[in-house]
Structure 1
Amino acid sequence: MAQILAPTSQWQMKVTKSSATASPMTAKMWGSLVLKQNKKGPTRSSTKFRVLATKSEGYTINRLEGLLNLDLTPFTDKIIAEYIWIGGSGIDVRSKSRTFSKPVEDPSELPKWNYDGSSTGQAPGEDSEVILYPQAIFKDPFRGGNNILVICDAYTPQGEPIPTNKRARAAEIFKNKKVIDEVPWYGIEQEYTLLQTDVKWPLGWPVGGYPGPQGPYYCGAGADKSFGRDISDAHYKACLYAGINISGTNGEVMPGQWEYQVGPSVGIEAGDHIWASRYILERITEQAGVVLTLDPKPIEGDWNGAGCHTNYSTKSMREDGGFEVIKKAILNLSLRHGEHISAYGEGNERRLTGKHETASINTFSWGVANRGCSIRVGRETEKQGKGYLEDRRPASNMDPYIVTSLLAETTLLWEPTLEAEALAAQKLSLNV
């Protein structure tokens, strides 16, 4: 854990006290030790007392960790379900737990639940009840066993989606037959930044100062280049355990910044998996005593921002002749650039400056293998004449339900006028 500069005492205890070969001290052993001390007579120095206090503290932590790691399956069929939803900011995740009498395999087996929306900024105090609808289930990597994480969306008691429920609208789009027939695939690259707890400054950075310039940190290794790898690796494994379709991870360009990829995922599943992965990352950083931020430009100046690049393809794009379908999709995207930008994350204007591998927020562009464009097409896609496109505009704090459904809507359901299409085609041909 060398790269974690300011872990909590609890995290340090877990690292130093736990061992595959060590066994926790039982009450009987502890009592025997105390009796032996008593037989020797009263303690005459504070040193012995301090040793006993240290052991007692470590014993308490071991007991707590033992309870947290209890496997309930041999003793009861009951499980714990963690209901997870998106809070009032549209980016914060909230959760609470309840017990069920037996293991659950499908969201339809779970009841609706409610929470106090006035405490999350999602309902007034005089009518504060918000209803949770279970939508997707993942294995719980923190509690293990048959325990589960449940991704929910939120509704009024009358059954109307609340304003921060973007999943409901996305589900409508993904249920459209045209969209279903095209089997939309998504691969989402979630970037994030780790901050030191008390100072809210990136992990690995001198407090109040700056590290060396960008260059050696991207996919780097070493104590002077990689900060937070244990968190990234723990998150990677926890997501695999949970059943999230995580496909990779890497250190990013700015020190203290990381990325993981989820996909390929089909339709609404992409949003469910990203939100579940974000919740797991929040829990891991909580345990590590490190702060997670999805701010698209956490440090101003000559430092890369944090995006959530979204790779996208349809069945027609993946088949022979798909490159022409991709170009038609790009044309449609150019005509709705403003609508997409307005929905692609808070504070994205601080990131999309035309520098640091971004296009200007005010200009739409596309290119092959060009990371400075709004839409990038890979060399292999150009060579094969089919494949996918990468939308590089979404910010790290974007809502994946909005971005994925908007891409499907713009490229599969929305039809521009012939005049607008011709004008856009002319502009795009000049950009390439």
Structure 2
Amino acid sequence: MDIEVVKSIIDKENVRFIRLQFTDINGVLKNVEVTPEVFLNSWEEGIMFDGSSIEGFVRIEESDMYLKPNLDTFAVLPWTVDGAKSARVICDVYTPDGKPFEGDPRYRLKRMMEKAKELGYTPYAGPEMEFFILPTSEKGEPVPEFLDHGGYFDLLPLSKAEEIRRDIAIALEKMGVIVEATHHEVAPSQHEVDFKYDNFLKTADNAQTVKLVIKTMAIFHGYYATFMPKPFFGVNGSGMHVHMSLFKGDQNAFYDPNKPLELSDDLRYFVGGILKHAKALAAVTNPTVNSYKRLVPGYEAPVYISWSVGNRSALIRIPKARGQATRIEYRSPDPSCNIYLAFAAVLAAGLDGIRNKIEPPAPVEENIYHMSLEKRKELSIESLPGNLKEAIEELKKDDVIIDALGEHIFEKFVEAAEKDWKEYSTYVTNWELQRYLYL
């Protein structure tokens, strides 16, 4: 899409405001809203904003930053506020001297994709986005209660959740995101939206759009959508399983009909790299204190560092499809992560596996949750970190993942995570009051 096409859309749709969107290091979508006149006059050199107010960006004495729009992401928002139409465009962040900002998560992913390109690969991904829809109070604040008591694939006739999912799919289609499926998930009030795979960068952009639309449609219906990994005790949490493949030209590099199980060396090495770096990756793909309440046995979330062909108790699963559809499913990420950083880190781990021909252990087809500790030791199956502090300590030791994040984001990311862990460690919970108040 070029600027003339964008201008014609603005005129035809009578767009009054344009949201310049970008993402902070926590994965939170931010935006600066400008008029079409400002956008059309300044899009090429970039629109200046105050970077010191954004989590993990820059200090106040170096606050001037520039947003440069990616015109291919321009889309009219399929809703209006007071009758005025707005559009959005996803931007890259630049410094005043015209260089990409090292602390821009989107830039870190673009950098890793260039490294993949140097090796002849284009990475593709398709995430499964899980979330809960919650009721709200009279003030419009989320109430942590179930909205329904449905289960996996349940049809809830005339329920508000069905209406919300329908409107999500329609809005995303209007914004150019192809929704392949929506359905009720395992837990009460839990839902999933699956959208068409694309290259890592396009998919990350689409994922941010999907989260924006999900939250917006829920609000329009008087409800609240949360991507918190584990909002309720005793039921499944929300994950973001990511299906990934590498292509060389128009051929899937993960497929080899002449290899065992028709899985290529590239796939095995890519899996080997992810398993090698899995503990450090957890800090990026599962970045909150709450993330580790989901990663426990018994709720279909992966705990053990292993891979399988079909077995869903493993960290990495290889679906049965072959040929162009050959792929891996990485099951630990959750939707609270910064998807740009998560993709950059996972790609770095997988490419490290390919470069260094890291052989994974044999695939495990038994239910690992039912294995004894002795059996897991025999098979050398280790566990993911048990909490955010452990994950951050693993990240500090992993130069491959640190390089993927870049020094700026690594330092800010660790600083924020350690602050969260310290606050959580000293906070008195309701569980503690119920357990110990009468001692």
Q: TM-score, normalised by structure 1?
A: 0.68
The alpha-carbon distance between structure 1 residues 333 and 184, as it changes in their structure 2 partners (threshold 3 A), is: same
The alpha-carbon distance between structure 1 residues 402 and 251, as it changes in their structure 2 partners (threshold 3 A), is: same
Deviation track 1:263-287 (CA, whole Å, cap 9, x = no partner) reads: 2111311111111222222322332
Amino acid at match of 2:331: R
> Which residue of structure 1 aligns with residue 276 of structure 2?
335
> Which residue of structure 1 aligns with residue 28 of structure 2?
92
Question: Is the 2:286–2:336 contact (alpha carbons within 8 Å) kept by the matching residues of 1?
Answer: yes
The alpha-carbon distance between structure 1 residues 230 and 386, as it changes in their structure 2 partners (threshold 3 A), is: closer
> Which residue of structure 2 aligns with residue 149 of structure 1?
88
The alpha-carbon distance between structure 1 residues 72 and 403, as it changes in their structure 2 partners (threshold 3 A), is: closer
> Which residue of structure 2 aligns with residue 323 of structure 1?
263
Identity %: 20
Question: Is the 1:83–1:95 contact (alpha carbons within 8 Å) kept by the matching residues of 2?
Answer: yes
Is 1:228 the counterpart of 2:161? The answer is yes
Is 1:303 the counterpart of 2:243? The answer is no
Amino acid at match of 1:139: V
Question: Is the 1:85–1:153 contact (alpha carbons within 8 Å) kept by the matching residues of 2?
Answer: yes
> What is the Cα-based RMSD across aligned positions, in Å?
3.5
> Which residue of structure 1 aligns with residue 207 of structure 2?
274
> Which residue of structure 2 aligns with residue 263 of structure 1?
196
The alpha-carbon distance between structure 1 residues 174 and 180, as it changes in their structure 2 partners (threshold 3 A), is: farther
Which aligned pairs between 1:347-362 and structure 2 lie closer than 5 A? 347=288, 348-360=291-303
Shift of 1:177: 5.6
Separation in 1 of the partners of 2:46 and 2:39?
Answer: 17
Shift of 1:335: 0.9
> Which residue of structure 2 aligns with residue 290 of structure 1?
223
> Which residue of structure 1 aligns with residue 347 of structure 2?
408
Deviation track 1:200-224 (CA, whole Å, cap 9, x = no partner) reads: 335644xxxxx76xxx521211259
Shift of 1:182: 2.5
Separation in 1 of the partners of 2:93 and 2:14?
Answer: 29
1:379 alignment partner, SS class: coil
Bigger Rg, which one: 1
> Which residue of structure 2 aligns with residue 55 of structure 1?
none
Question: Which deviates more from structure 2 when the two are superposed, residues 177-186 or residues 132-141?
Answer: 177-186
Amino acid at match of 2:338: D
Amino acid at match of 2:78: P
2:271 alignment partner, SS class: helix
> Which residue of structure 1 aligns with residue 321 of structure 2?
380
Question: Is the 2:68–2:93 contact (alpha carbons within 8 Å) kept by the matching residues of 1?
Answer: yes
Deviation track 1:327-379 (CA, whole Å, cap 9, x = no partner) reads: 3322221111112112102232111112211121xx30112222221011113
Separation in 1 of the partners of 2:17 and 2:62?
Answer: 28
The alpha-carbon distance between structure 1 residues 260 and 245, as it changes in their structure 2 partners (threshold 3 A), is: same
Deviation track 1:377-418 (CA, whole Å, cap 9, x = no partner) reads: 11334xx69711100010111222122233332223555767
Question: Is the 1:332–1:416 contact (alpha carbons within 8 Å) kept by the matching residues of 2?
Answer: no
The alpha-carbon distance between structure 1 residues 127 and 354, as it changes in their structure 2 partners (threshold 3 A), is: same
Amino acid at match of 2:350: T
Shift of 1:195: 2.1
1:142 alignment partner, SS class: strand
The alpha-carbon distance between structure 1 residues 342 and 161, as it changes in their structure 2 partners (threshold 3 A), is: farther
Gaps of 5+ in 2: 1-8, 247-251, 366-378, 382-439
Report the count of equivalent residues.
340
Q: TM-score, normalised by structure 2?
A: 0.67
Task: Determine which of 160, 163, 185 is the counterpart of 2:124.
Answer: 185
> Which residue of structure 1 aligns with residue 173 of structure 2?
240
Question: Is the 2:311–2:364 contact (alpha carbons within 8 Å) kept by the matching residues of 1?
Answer: no
Task: Determine which of 46, 59, 62 is the counterpart of 1:112.
Answer: 46
Question: Is the 1:236–1:246 contact (alpha carbons within 8 Å) kept by the matching residues of 2?
Answer: yes
1:91 alignment partner, SS class: coil
Is 1:132 the counterpart of 2:67? The answer is yes
Deviation track 1:224-267 (CA, whole Å, cap 9, x = no partner) reads: 9x552222111111111001233221111112111111221113
Gaps of 5+ in 1: 1-70, 206-210
